[in-house]
Amino acid sequence: MRERSGLPTLVLAAALITMGLPNGRLFATASPRPPQKISTDLAQQAFSHKSGDRINLIVQFNTARATSIDLIVANVSARVTRGLNALNMRALELPLAAVSALAAHKEVRFISPDRQIAGLGHLETTTGVAAARIQTNTEPGGLITTTSVYDGSGVSIAVLDSGIDTAHVAFRNQFGLSRVILSHDFTEENRTDDVFGHGTHVASIAAGNSQISNGAYTGIAPNANLINLRVLNSQGSGATSNVLAALDWVLANHDLYNIRVVNLSLGTPAIDSYLDDPLCQAVRRVTDAGIVVVAAAGNNGKTQDGSKVYGQIHSPGNEPSAVTVGAANSFGTDQRGDDSVTTYSSRGPTRSFTVDESGIKHYDNLLKPDLVAPGNKIVGAAASGNELLANHPELDAEVSNDTASRMMYLSGSSMSAPIAAGAAAVLFQANPSLTPSLVKAILMFTAQPLPGSNTFEQGAGEINVEGALRLARLVRTNLSPSTALGAPLLTDAPPVKQTMISGQTFDWGSGIVCNHAYAVSDELMTRYQKIYGPGSILADGVMETPTSQSPDLSMLTDGVSLGLNAVTSDGGTIAGGMPFLNLSFLLGDGGLLPDGIMVGDGIMVGDGIMVGDGILVGDSTLNTLSGDETSCMR
């Protein structure tokens, strides 16, 4: 993992802070802070606002002492809008002219705008979960003693979205009670229902039951509990501070409710490097607490004229520890032979960046997404009276006229992410001792690379819950930070690296994505890797220079090797296919991968496409698209 390098305290021209004059004129003054302490878009805002304007910011602090943080904040006449104690952050409103003084404090780590967030937007069979739902457990000696149903029982999934319609039949348990065990609003609208309609649909994909239409639209973990954390308002938008407040709450309460998975079918432009972005930093803290965080990749994979676009993965999907999920198209069939990545799904590499003292951008260029999952024309629960369906009645799936059982279509990586979230819940039910890194590795190792799609489009491939569950059940439950590198990972012989779904058999990809490369070897499945330990991420297993990368043999066993090229897949393993781009182009802090045309197969985007103060084009609206999708929310 690339670490932050220390930079001298020099003036960055793009980050000059405006100071106030009585007549409202602006002038710039040099700041004594290091240039990486302030987001570039915040610096740009400084030149477009009057000096007396107040601004909403997210401030990250080095200190963990709340009293020290509050003293710093008080000295710059700021108003605290969100406490965020568990994250060592504050959401503040303060005069624009005070930003310079705040940034100069040694305990201030990074300052960025409170950016706008918006929703990004037969699963049981096509994902393989139906084939693996019921498993027999055999005791030593060969006697079959029990049968287990893997449906997410006992595990809670926190859904950070536009709310959940808790009265919908899809969320009832076998006794008719709601499995939405807690609801909390972070939008200041003082309601937790789903006026917009996005969150209910997302939640049902992760954990909808089989009580509607004879189980035709069952979610991935239909008996998991749901935690409804409403961060998007009635129009489907919100602020970064809403999401941070919800993640802060998760950190403080995850043990009480056994929250093992967080779903983020939302995003904002990835501008700041994951080293600075407050959403990414919060996701890393939540992951370090033992919780899998799943993030939607985004839906900006093509231009208005249909051309491919690369480099549009959104925050927090650009965070290495997150399971970032793009959208696949199953074309309405259970078989996987015709599946492909949708044209709109956002492609990597990530183009968030830092800026050095010379004003040069250094892009993260991470391989993302990690996986893809079905996301096109997905049928899910429709919240009663929701805005999406009211404004677009063509989205009605015509399953039921009963408002408590109504279903609707939506498309996008928003629909793909909760498939991975539900899968993670099922894996935790099967083996509660798994770490987030192990869950992520298992989901990638067992995925199916889709032929014709390249690594920047699909990561390790399409999710395969059947294979993931079969592998997860074999992982030792007594692993610990003291487990030796190379120790046996499994309790029994390794599983066959193939899965059959609807009569079709496919091979597992047998690899994992780790920042600027991918790793391959059966040892990833059979021998313990230090990257699977608590507080580790998969990228910790790779040592990098500006021109080369190699396995870190203190973290990975010597049988693990790194792929040299992103490939256009032949449908075999993660490394199989035609070379698409040499992965050395991702190194050197992004200096070797310029903006512009990429290998004749699309456009590489530098800074992202933004309108106004960080609101994505098309956010908070339903885009009617052509081709392989009808409607697309993030």
Q: How many domains does the chain have?
A: 2
Rounded Cα distance, 180 and 187, in Å:
19
Confidence of residue 52 (pLDDT cuts 50, 70, 90): low
Query: What is the model's pLDDT at position 215?
Result: 83
* pLDDT value for 624: 32
Q: Tell me the mean pLDDT in the region 362-379.
A: 93
Beta carbons within 8 Å of 498's beta carbon, 6+ residues apart: 467, 505, 506, 507, 508
pLDDT value for 622 = 36
| Annotated catalytic residue within 41, 114, 151, 161 | 161
pLDDT band per the 50, 70, 90 thresholds, residue 210: confident
User: Whole-model pTM?
Assistant: 0.85
**Residue 143 pLDDT more than 70?**
no
Residue type, 578: M
Q: Given pLDDT bands bounded at 50, 70 and 90, which one contains residue 68?
A: confident
Name residue 113's beta-bridge partners.
Answer: 57
Q: Are residues 86 and 156 in the same domain?
A: no
Q: Which residues pair with 542 in a beta bridge?
A: 551
Instruction: For residue range 70-119, list pLDDT tens digits in order.
Output: 888 888 888 899 989 899 899 998 888 888 888 888 889 999 989 888 66
pLDDT tens-place string over residues 228-246: 999 999 999 999 999 999 9
The boundaries of the domain holding residue 375 are 119-475+600-604
Q: Are residues 430 and 451 in the same domain?
A: yes
Please, are residues 28 and 22 in contact by the beta-carbon 8 Å criterion?
no
Q: Judge if 275 and 132 occupy the same domain.
A: yes
Pick the range with the lowest mean pLDDT from 53-62, 154-163, 289-298: 53-62
Structural domain ending residue among the three candidates 54, 88, 114: 114
Asked if 360 and 429 sit in the same domain, the reply is yes
How large is the average pLDDT for residues 614-630? 32
Same domain flag for 107 and 126: no
Assign 169 a pLDDT band (cuts: 50, 70, 90): very high
Q: Are 497 and 507 in contact (CB under 8 A)?
A: yes
- Set 198, 201, 254, 314: catalytic member: 198
Beta strands in 477-521 (DSSP E): 498-501, 504-507, 511-514, 517-520
- Computed over every residue of the chain, the mean pLDDT equals 84
Of 114, 130, 146, the residue that ends a domain is 114
Position 103 scores a pLDDT of 87
Per-residue confidence (pLDDT) for residue 600, from 0 to 100: 59
> Do 103 and 193 have their domain in common?
no
pLDDT of residue 131: 67
| 437 and 307 within one domain | yes
Query: Does 633 have pLDDT greater than 50?
Result: no
Q: Residue 603: helix, strand or coil by DSSP?
A: strand
Query: Residues 31, 414, 453, 620: which is the catalytic one?
Result: 414
> What does the pLDDT read at residue 626?
31
| pLDDT tens-digit map of 492-547 | 999 999 998 878 899 999 999 999 999 999 999 999 999 999 999 999 999 998 88
Residue 543 falls inside a structural domain: no
- Across 126-140, 532-546, 557-571, least confident range: 126-140
Q: Which residue has the tokens 């996301």?
A: 375
Note the pLDDT of residue 123: 55
In a domain, 147, yes or no: yes
- Over residues 123-145, the mean pLDDT reads 60
The region of weakest confidence among 97-111, 165-179, 561-575 is: 97-111
Q: Would the pLDDT of 383 be above 60?
A: yes
* Strands of 114-170, DSSP E: 116-119, 134-138, 144-149, 156-161
What percent of the chain clears pLDDT 70, i.e. is strictly above it? Answer: 81
Residue 35 sits in the same domain as residue 174: no
141: Cα within 13 Å, side-chain hemisphere? 4
Residue 24 — very low, low, confident or very high, per pLDDT cuts 50/70/90?
very low
Q: Concatenated DSSP letters for 17-50?
A: EEE--TT---EEE--SS-GGGB-HHHHHHHTTS-
Cis peptide before 349 (omega within 30 of 0): yes
In-domain check, residue 266:
yes
Find the CATH number of the domain harbouring 353: 3.40.50.200
CA atoms 230, 233, 237, 238: torsion sign: negative
Q: Are strands 498-501 and 504-507 parallel, antiparallel or unpaired?
A: antiparallel
pLDDT of 612 reads 26
198 catalytic per annotation:
yes
Judge contact between 574 and 519, C-beta under 8 A: no
Percentage of residues of the chain with pLDDT beyond 90? 60
**Domain end (from 98, 114, 130):** 114
Domain assignment present for 419: yes
Select the more confidently predicted residue: 439 or 616: 439
Are residues 152 and 265 located together in one domain of the fold? yes
One domain, residues 233 and 137: yes
The full 3-state SS of 47-65, as one line of letters, equals: CCCCCCCEEEEEEEECCCC
pLDDT tens-digit profile of 417-436? 999 999 999 999 999 999 99
The per-residue pLDDT for 623 is 36
pLDDT at 291: 98
The residue behind tokens 């959401």 is 91
Which residues sit opposite 165 in a β-bridge?
none
Q: Which residue has the higher pLDDT, 15 or 147?
A: 147
Could you tell me the CATH number of the domain that includes residue 96? Answer: 3.30.70.80
Give dist(CA 429, CA 472) in Å, integer.
10
Q: Mean pLDDT over residues 250-272, rounded?
A: 96
Per-residue pLDDT band for 23 (boundaries 50, 70, 90) equals: very low
Q: What is the pLDDT of residues 455-467, one digit of tens each?
A: 999 999 999 999 9
Q: Does residue 421 lie in a domain region?
A: yes
Is 497 a domain residue? Answer: no
Region 209-224 average pLDDT: 90
> Can you give the pLDDT at residue 38?
87
pLDDT for the residue numbered 597? 55
343 within some domain = yes
Q: For residue 418, is it within any domain? A: yes
Q: Domain check: are 107 and 184 in the same one?
A: no
- Residue 194 banded pLDDT, cuts 50, 70, 90: very high
**Between residues 623 and 479, the one the model is more confident about:** 479
Whether residue 105 is found in the same domain as residue 227: no
Residue of higher predicted confidence among 432 and 581: 432
Task: Tell me the pLDDT band of 127, cut-offs 50, 70 and 90.
Answer: low
Residue 129 has pLDDT above 50, yes or no: yes
Q: What is the pLDDT of residues 324-341, one digit of tens each?
A: 999 998 777 666 777 889
- Predicted confidence (pLDDT) per residue in 280-319, tens digit: 999 999 999 999 999 999 999 988 888 889 999 999 999 9
Which among 413, 467, 469 is positioned nearest to 221, based on CA atoms? 469
